[in-house]
Amino acid sequence: MAQNIYTGQQQQTELSPQQGRQYEAGVKWSTFDDRLLLTMAYFDIKQDNVYESVNGEAELTGGIETNGVEFSLAGSPVRGWNIRASLGLLDAEIVSEDTDTNGNRPRNVPEHTANLWTSYEFQGADHPLSGFGMGGGITHVGNRYGDSEHSFDLGDYTLVDAGIWYYFPAIGNSTLRVDLGVKNITDEEYYTASGGDYRISVGAPRTVFAGLRLDF
C-alpha cells in the first residue's frame, strides 16, 4: 500500500510502501435450536514500514506483529430477549532494529477488550407492555500506551450504557418509536486514543439522549 502523507492539501512526505500479510481461522457453533451462536477466531498479522502520525508529523514505527483471539456470543434465550457479548485478547509488538521501541506494544493497542449488551422487548399484542423495551451494556478497554516509547499510558476504562424504547401501535403501514437512553452512566473520565503528547482524545462524559423515529 502506497504511503503519501498529506497535511491539509500539501504533501508532507513520501514513504516506502507498507507491506503486510494476515492469516485468520475461525469456528462457529450454533446450539439450542439456533438460539445461541458461539464464534472464535484466531488471527496473525505482520506489517512492515508502518508509520504513525505523532503530533501531526509522520514517523516510521518499523514493523508490527500482532496475533490474538476473539470470542463472541449472540443469543436469544427466549422470545424478545437478546444477548451479545465479545472478548478480544491481543499480543502486539513493534519489530524495529533501528529504534529503542523494538519489542514495545504499539500505542493505542490494548491487551484485551470486552463488551456485553442485553435487551428485552415485551412481546404479544395482548400484553399490556407490548412494544416497550429496555437494554443495557458494559464496554471495557484495557490499558494502552500513549506512544511507542511507553513514556505514558492512557489507562483502562469501563463504560456502562442503558436505554429504553417504545413502539406505538401501528397506524396503517406506519410505526412510531421513541427512544431514551444514557451513555457513560457512571460519568467515567477516560481517553480513547493518543495522537502524540498534544493530541489526546478525551472520551464523552455522561450523555442523555432521546430520539423519535417514524417509519412509513
**Residue 69 belongs to a domain with what CATH number?**
2.40.170.20
Residue owning grid cell 495522537: 195
User: Does residue 109 form part of some domain?
Assistant: yes
Indicate the Cα dihedral angle 61, 145, 54, 16, nearest 10°: 20
For residue 90 the three cell numbers come to 491481543
User: Does residue 3 form part of some domain?
Assistant: no
- 84 vs 182: CA distance, rounded Å: 19
Residue owning grid cell 486514543: 193
Whether the Cβ atoms of residue 19 and residue 47 lie closer than 8 Å to each other: yes
For residue 20 the three cell numbers come to 503486510
DSSP 102: T
pLDDT of residue 128: 86
- Among candidate residues 200, 193, 207, the one with its CA nearest the CA of residue 160: 207
For residue 203 the three cell numbers come to 472520551
Total number of domains in the chain: 1
User: Does residue 81 form part of some domain?
Assistant: yes
Tell me which residue range forms the domain holding 172.
17-215
pLDDT of residue 97: 79
Whether the Cβ atoms of residue 201 and residue 190 lie closer than 8 Å to each other: no
pLDDT of residue 48: 87
Q: Is 41 helix (H, G, I), strand (E, B) or coil?
A: strand
pTM: 0.83
Residue ranges of the chain with pLDDT lower than 50? none
Q: How far is CA 151 from the centre of its chain?
A: 25
pLDDT of residue 11: 57
pLDDT of residue 197: 81
Biggest CA–CA distance in the chain, Å, is 70
pLDDT of residue 169: 83
User: Does residue 93 form part of some domain?
Assistant: yes
- Among candidate residues 169, 167, 172, the one with its CA nearest the CA of residue 212: 167
User: Does residue 12 form part of some domain?
Assistant: no
* Environment class of 82 (CB within 10 Å of its CB; exposed 0-12, middle 13-18, buried 19+): middle
User: Does residue 9 form part of some domain?
Assistant: no
92-122 pLDDT, tens digit per residue, is 999 987 778 888 999 999 999 999 999 999 9
